[in-house]
Amino acid sequence: MMNIIVCVKQVPDTAATIKLDPTGKSISQENITYVLNPFDEYAIEEALQTKEKFGGEVTLVTMGPDRAEEALRTGLAMGADKGIHITDPQLAGTDFFGTARVLAAAIKTVPHDIIFCGKVAVDDNAGQVGPQIAELLGIPQVTAATKVEIAEGGASAKVNREIEGATEVLQTSLPAVITAEKDLNQPRYPSLPGIMKAKQKPVQKMTLADLGLNPAEFGSGASKFEITSMAMPSKREGGRIIQGDLPVAVRELVKLLHEEAKVI
Amino acid sequence: MEPNEIWLLAMWGLSILLLVVFLYGFYRKYRLANLGVQESRWDKMGERVKSFFVFGLLQRRVVKEPIPLLFHTAIYLGFLYLLLSTTLVFVQMDFGINLLYGDTCLWATLLADLAGIVVMSGVIVAAYRRYISKPTRLERRKEDAIALALIFLIVFTGFMAEGVRILNGDPGPLCRTSPGGQPMDDAAWSPVGVALAWFFEVLSLQGETVWGVFWWVHLLLAFAFIMYLPYSKLSHIFIGPLNTFFRSLRPKGALKKMEIKEDAEVFGVQKIQEFTTKQLWDLHACMECGRCQDNCPAWQTDKPLSPKKIITDLREHLYERGKVLLKKSGEGEEVPSLGGNVVQYDEIWACTTCGACQEHCPVFIEHIDKIVDIRRAMVMMESNFPNEMNPVLRNMETQFNPYMVGNDTRADWAEDLGIKKLSADQDVEYLYFVGCTASFDDRNKKVATAFAKIMKRAGVSFGILGTEEKCCGEPLRRMGNEYLGQMMITENINVFKKYNVKKIVTACPHCFNTLKNEYPDFDGKFQVIHHTELLSDLMKKGKIKTSKKLPAIATYHDSCYLGRHNDIYDQPRDALEAVTSGQLKEMKDNKWKGFCCGAGGGRMWMEETLGSRINETRVQQALDVKADTMATACPFCLIMLGDGIKAKDAEEKLDIVDIAEMFESAMEK
């Protein structure tokens, strides 16, 4: 029997066209749909497989506004047992370290034998929260796992990581934080009965006060960094083929490279 | 008791046994089919009677192939006539009722001899085909041989008995000069009997005993036939025509709707008894002619799917599980799900739902609904489907299209064309439902543009939904995700109703079929037409004029969902002929026999790794007739066949276009 925790995040669907809002410091909420962070799906799948093997319970933890509950429901539809949703108006604009503190505080309230996270969240691509949770809980961490083998009895785990041109195999005691790379498994598609049941599964709402945290230490005001600007990648234009006689074409190409592209 | 009486008693005793065995055979089939979920098909009686007459009795579909036309008709009509004359003899001898007498009766006797010859010839042709030509679609099992042998031997021994009787100088059993009159000598009217009589004379085989032996063998064979019938493929004699009576009268292209109840335990079909009673009768009805297999594009490109095999595998499983289920003991027992076990994973996912199997089945077996029912369970219960479908389903959930892009770019193609959006002005005649492929795929955006330009020039009043449009639900339903499919359908219907939409035109046969034939099941009744219908109509009304003929040798590729599923064959050809100067070439498989492009049933988004490629096979057919232009009227076909042309390196020889594009370039500007 293992108590398995998965930290998840709701992120904008990357299929949608992302636009900047007028401040230029964050993205526009217009036309955005939110999904469960894809890397977190691998984490949930690994948690579910662990539960299937050893028995136990999978608890999802997330921090975010009301809509973040949808991400929990997606995970519950996949088969997780319950969710913890930390939501508090004071949390708006909280940085990575603040997020890690909140999640770690929530995890401390429940028994935990292993904690899975996604390697990164695809929105801000930081990859900090998982490792920071491990530090805050004082337990080991293995990031970007591609294979996890938990020893009989659940006291330790052997974890593979892909490194440049090789596979690194680590042994860690448990509890530990393991973050999921995308080759870790093939996340299951939620079954319809799973989706139906997910609506009834318990989601515990918690505020900063419930966790005994001081609201003044969270939110944009307490952030350790500030986003000064965001920019869209420049639009890619179609290639051009210069046709015609070779010497003429070459002259044309040189001219274009010099005058238009300004690379020579 | 007189010896005669003993024989008579034996015959009647046997007859009762025979009846019991015969009825029990069908009762057993009924009990097995009744394990399913009740489905009533007693509606639209007029149409059903007509279907029974045309397809059951006249066998319109059986005779669509020349060899079955020959032998099946011979055996069917010959046997029917022999049955009729045997009944007459029976009525006359055992009840003393004379219906035929005099010359009419003699003619009937002659006809019976001829019918016997016809049946025996039919059996010989059938046996030649099965055992010597050996087409792959036919099996050679014991019951096939027994069935043919029984039919042949019944007629053969009948002739023998007749021969000996004539040699013995006995009059025939049937004909009298008048009701109650003298028996007539029918030897002159029984050419086969006379010929055999000569033969027996040479062998000195004659006398009452010899006749009695032949007669009893004849009778016992006939009894064996009747008793064997409900336990073998011969049962198709009854179940086949019944199946044409109870055939689906829904629009051909419409899938069966699945009710989604929050508290349901099962979605789709995992166990054999979750099929409906009619679906299980379908399994009984199959006599394994193999036409479905012959015409299946997956089978023809060496994939493991054979629609026939699916039916016979399910039937075998029904008998096996049925034994347990009928004892009521095995109901709660854990059995592996049908999909991936009784019917293999690769078979289930190879189906393009092109409908060739159903269109060719002489007894209207519904293969697609069964395959989709199994897919439903595999997707909604077991998440057991090709990996490539995963991102498609997820994008459908969040972006309402299968192309992994954001829905916000759905109307980008229309930006500079000055096309009305219903959100700005709903006072239009037609909603142009663009569909995902024409909205997001670069090649198909050109088709949407061409079609919109034609409508504008012809003065058609239309508008689009822009980003309010969602996937029509067609691929989702056919991939087995009924839940998500129904979500799309209801959301689209709400938008249609919001803008008071009455008429819808679309250039996609898949959208067309679903909007037209499936939306009514969800309380969405609209008048839906396909763009080829509109083009053909505008042309006839003189609203659009073509100024030039394109110098193309064109061939038209029938989209399955426009052709087979909706019987639209002529309008696209009319439109095509109007804009090309060359003669229209027809490929080997065309119209109702049209060969799929490979993209239906959600296969558009799945890898095709088994066997050869369906799209390339189709492209080869176009190359074979030396066409230089392949015209389509379906965005999926356009993509698939375009890829096929590239894969075959035939871009120089063969161009692929949508009919709307041809029209647009030939139109008066």
Using a CB–CB cutoff of 8 Å, tell me whether B607 touches chain A.
Answer: no
Cβ-defined contact of B406 to A192 (cutoff 8 Å): no
Of B381, B382, B406, Cβ closest to residue A16: B406
Q: How far is B46 from chain A (nearest CA, A)?
A: 40
B380 interaction partners in chain A (CB closer than 8 Å): 191-193
Cβ-defined contact of B380 to A35 (cutoff 8 Å): no
A33 interaction partners in chain B (CB closer than 8 Å): 398-399
Q: Name the burial class of residue B51, with classes exposed (0-12), middle (13-18) and buried (19+) by CB atoms within 10 angstroms of its CB.
A: buried
A190 interaction partners in chain B (CB closer than 8 Å): 383
Cβ-defined contact of B383 to A13 (cutoff 8 Å): no
pLDDT > 90: percent of chain B: 84
Condensed to tens digits (0 to 9), the pLDDT of residues B455-501 reads 999 999 999 999 999 999 999 999 999 999 999 999 999 999 999 99
Cβ-defined contact of A193 to B267 (cutoff 8 Å): yes
Q: How far is B407 from chain A (nearest CA, A)?
A: 7
B270 interaction partners in chain A (CB closer than 8 Å): none
B483 interaction partners in chain A (CB closer than 8 Å): 192, 195
Using a CB–CB cutoff of 8 Å, tell me whether B404 touches chain A.
Answer: yes
Q: Considering only alpha carbons, which residue of chain A is nearest residue B390? A: A189
Q: How far is B323 from chain A (nearest CA, A)?
A: 30
pLDDT at B669: 67
B409 interaction partners in chain A (CB closer than 8 Å): 17
Give whole-number Cα distances, A186 to A143, A198, B46, B107, in Å.
Answer: 18, 20, 53, 76
Average model confidence (pLDDT) across chain B: 94
- Going along chain B from its start, the domains and CATH numbers come out as 66-235 (no CATH), 272-380 (1.10.1060.10), 400-540 (3.40.50.1860), 554-666 (no CATH)
Query: With 90 as the cut, is the pLDDT of residue B3 above it?
Result: no
Q: How far is B412 from chain A (nearest CA, A)?
A: 12
Give whole-number Cα distances, A62 to A73, A102, A246, in Å.
Answer: 11, 9, 62
Provide φ and ψ at A215, rounded to 5°. -55, -30
What tens-digit pLDDT sequence spans chain A (264 residues)? 899 999 999 999 988 888 888 888 888 888 788 999 999 999 999 999 999 999 999 999 999 999 999 999 999 999 999 999 999 999 999 999 999 999 999 999 999 999 999 999 999 999 999 999 999 999 999 999 999 999 998 899 999 999 999 999 999 999 999 999 998 999 999 999 999 999 999 999 999 999 999 999 999 889 998 889 998 888 777 788 888 889 989 998 998 888 888 888
Q: Considering only alpha carbons, which residue of chain A is nearest residue B391? A: A189
When pLDDT is averaged across residues B561-570 and rounded to a whole number, the result is: 96
- Give the CA-trace dihedral at B309, B315, B317, B322, to 10 degrees: 180
Of A16, A186, A192, Cβ closest to residue B267: A192
When pLDDT is averaged across residues B648-664 and rounded to a whole number, the result is: 95
- Give the CA-trace dihedral at A21, A23, A27, A28, to 10 degrees: -20
Q: Are the C-beta atoms of residues A3 and A59 closer than 8 Å to each other?
A: yes
How many beta-carbon pairs under 8 angstroms link A with B?
Answer: 52
pLDDT at B97: 79
Cβ-defined contact of B267 to A189 (cutoff 8 Å): no
Using a CB–CB cutoff of 8 Å, tell me whether B400 touches chain A.
Answer: no
Cβ-defined contact of A15 to B265 (cutoff 8 Å): no
pLDDT at B330: 62
Q: Considering only alpha carbons, which residue of chain B is nearest residue A185? A: B387
The domain segmentation of chain A, as residue ranges, is 2-222, 238-264
Cβ-defined contact of B408 to A16 (cutoff 8 Å): yes
d(CA B485, CA B469): 14
Of A31, A191, A196, Cβ closest to residue B383: A191
Of B381, B383, B399, Cβ closest to residue A15: B399
B406 interaction partners in chain A (CB closer than 8 Å): 13, 15-17, 31
Q: Which residues contact A174 (CB under 8 A, 6 or more apart)?
A: A113, A114, A150, A154, A155, A156, A157
Of A13, A186, A189, Cβ closest to residue B398: A13
Query: With 90 as the cut, is the pLDDT of residue B180 above it?
Result: no
pLDDT at B187: 85
Condensed to tens digits (0 to 9), the pLDDT of residues B362-371 reads 999 999 999 9
Cβ-defined contact of B390 to A189 (cutoff 8 Å): yes
Using a CB–CB cutoff of 8 Å, tell me whether B479 touches chain A.
Answer: no
Cβ-defined contact of B381 to A192 (cutoff 8 Å): yes
pLDDT at A264: 80
Q: Considering only alpha carbons, which residue of chain B is nearest residue A198? A: B262
Provide φ and ψ at B296, rounded to 5°. -75, 125
Instruction: Copy the structure tokens of residue B338.
Output: 């049908």
A17 interaction partners in chain B (CB closer than 8 Å): 406, 408-409
Q: Name the interface residues of A facing B (CB cutoff 8 Å).
A: 13, 15-17, 31, 33, 35, 186-193, 195-196
Q: Taking Cα atoms as reference points, which of B578, B57, B9, B36 lies closest to residue B282?
A: B36
Using a CB–CB cutoff of 8 Å, tell me whether B382 touches chain A.
Answer: yes
pLDDT at B170: 87
Q: Considering only alpha carbons, which residue of chain B is nearest residue A31? A: B408
Residue B50 CB-half CA count within 13 A:
6
pLDDT > 70: percent of chain B: 99
H/E element, B109: helix B102-128
Cβ-defined contact of A189 to B405 (cutoff 8 Å): no
Q: Considering only alpha carbons, which residue of chain A is nearest residue B266? A: A193
When pLDDT is averaged across residues B7-32 and rounded to a whole number, the result is: 92
Q: How far is B570 from chain A (nearest CA, A)?
A: 40
Q: How far is B266 from chain A (nearest CA, A)?
A: 8
Q: Name the burial class of residue A227, with classes exposed (0-12), middle (13-18) and buried (19+) by CB atoms within 10 angstroms of its CB.
A: middle
Condensed to tens digits (0 to 9), the pLDDT of residues B123-141 reads 999 999 999 999 999 999 9
- Give the CA-trace dihedral at B488, B493, B498, B499, to 10 degrees: 110
Cβ-defined contact of A191 to B398 (cutoff 8 Å): no
d(CA B24, CA B479): 40
SS3 content of chain A, % helix, strand, coil (to 5): 30, 25, 45
When pLDDT is averaged across residues B264-290 and rounded to a whole number, the result is: 95
CB < 8 Å from A in window 231-260 of B: 260
Bridging pattern class, strands A141-150 and A156-163:
antiparallel
pLDDT at A18: 84
Q: Is the pTM of this model over 0.90?
A: yes
Using a CB–CB cutoff of 8 Å, tell me whether B492 touches chain A.
Answer: no
Of B380, B399, B405, Cβ closest to residue A191: B380
pLDDT at B340: 95
DSSP notation for B343-365: B-HHHHHH-----HHHHH-TT--
Q: Name the burial class of residue B328, with classes exposed (0-12), middle (13-18) and buried (19+) by CB atoms within 10 angstroms of its CB.
A: exposed
Cβ-defined contact of A16 to B393 (cutoff 8 Å): no
A189 interaction partners in chain B (CB closer than 8 Å): 379, 383, 385, 390, 393
- Domain boundaries A2-222, CATH class: alpha beta
Cβ-defined contact of B379 to A189 (cutoff 8 Å): yes
d(CA B243, CA B279): 10
d(CA A34, CA A15): 10
d(CA B142, CA B151): 14
